[in-house]
A = this chain, B = another copy of it.
């Protein structure tokens, strides 16, 4: 049976929610990672993924500048990196400089991959659409990578940035 409640209460039923780290370079060439839970696959052929980024975030500028971005699936061991990349702004800090996280150059776009991630997807910017206080960026996936060892993805398990793996 359903009960009419406030959105803020109803949305607490969403967990576990997947976590990705999107990475785009700013105009100075600094790769800027941001942690996002609002993401989905958007097309099968050609493959595309969508991310929703808050309008004030520095990533709006980095993606707007680069016209490309990486979407990485962090592993369940990468909770600290995900929390750091999600709580600091690339306007103020060089996130990869302050929090060590192994990266390597992307193959087909001017971005980087997270070497220890479950998988990395190289995307060229296909479209951007405003949605309330966010912008939806759709990227066409032009190269894909997986970890050479099987790894588990990271999820948000509940309110208060509780991160971990699911089974």
Contacts and interface: CB of A to CB of B under 8 A. Distances in A.
Interface of A: 1-7, 9-11, 13-18, 37-48, 50, 52, 54, 73, 104, 107, 113, 115, 117-121, 126-127, 129, 131-134, 136, 138, 140-141, 143-149, 151, 153, 155, 166-167
Find the residue from A18, A107, A120, A132 having the highest chain B CB count within 10 A: A132
Contacts of A9: 144, 146
Question: How many copies are assembled?
Answer: 2
20 contacts: A2-B115, A4-B107, A7-B144, A9-B144, A10-B121, A11-B41, A13-B118, A13-B119, A13-B151, A14-B119, A16-B166, A18-B18, A38-B41, A39-B40, A40-B52, A42-B136, A48-B131, A126-B131, A127-B129, A136-B136
Which 3 pairs between the two chains have the least Cβ-Cβ distance?
A43-B132, A10-B144, A42-B131
Contact of A119 (B10, B43, B73, B146): B10
B146 A47 contact: no
Tell me the interface secondary structure of chain A in the complex.
strand
B132 A3 contact: no
Contact of A44 (B117, B129, B132, B146): B132
